[in-house]
Amino acid sequence: MRAEESVVTATATAALAIALAGSFLLLWSALGHVRAFDLLRATIVKHDVVPYRRHRQIALALVVAELTIGGLVTASWLVSGAPLVLGLAGQAVLYTIFCGYAALVLRSKRSVACGCFGGESITWVIPVRAAAVAAATTVAAVAVPPGASSAAVAALALGAALVLRYLPRIVRTPEGTHAT
């Protein structure tokens, strides 16, 4: 294998691992949202972005989207060794929406909970994380590497999911407080 092919394969593998991590996060988040649906709805109310009468519908649509897209990407990878391009495209769009929504909330209200995984406040890490997953998912959609169903990709994806999940807690300012 030439050096250029190695770089492309390594990049595609990393993108796939991050995309799979993104699908794991969607499922993880959806399960939390199903368990605490009223908390999700209340969080959306506090964000003050969508009309008040639509909070319940938006919360329900979010849970359905997370379960559907996260499940489709994960299941297709487990069954065929390569996620469906349609699922990856949907995931890239969903994470792009998350990025824009979090940036909008961050710009207008600095001290509200994100709603992704509980009570973490929205910081700049949230939209950056969403943008990174959207970008990696887009790369994975156009360049799924050979051997995509390997245990190495699964291990990378699980590790990336944990890092991405806890990234807002990991990133801190020099004073020891959460990054804003």
| Tens digit of each residue's pLDDT (9 = 90 or more) over 47-93 | 888 887 899 999 999 999 999 999 999 998 888 766 788 899 999 99
User: Which residues of the chain register pLDDT less than 70?
Assistant: 1, 81-82, 109-110, 118-119, 145-149, 152, 169, 172-180
**Nearest-5° angle of CA 25, CA 74, CA 6?**
95
Phi, psi of 178, deg, nearest 5? -65, 145
Q: What's this model's pTM, rounded to 2 decimal places?
A: 0.84
Residues 69 and 23 sit within 8 Å (Cβ to Cβ): yes
Residues 24 and 158 sit within 8 Å (Cβ to Cβ): yes
End-to-end, the C-alpha distance of the chain in Å comes to 44
How far, in Å, CA of 3 to CA of 127, rounded? Answer: 34
How far, in Å, CA of 26 to CA of 43, rounded? Answer: 17
Confirm whether 42 is domain-assigned.
yes
Confirm whether 179 is domain-assigned.
no
Confirm whether 21 is domain-assigned.
yes
Domain that holds residue 125: 3-170
Confirm whether 77 is domain-assigned.
yes
Confirm whether 176 is domain-assigned.
no
Confirm whether 69 is domain-assigned.
yes
Radius of gyration of the chain from its Cα atoms, rounded to whole angstroms: 17
Number of domains in the chain: 1
Confirm whether 180 is domain-assigned.
no
Confirm whether 14 is domain-assigned.
yes
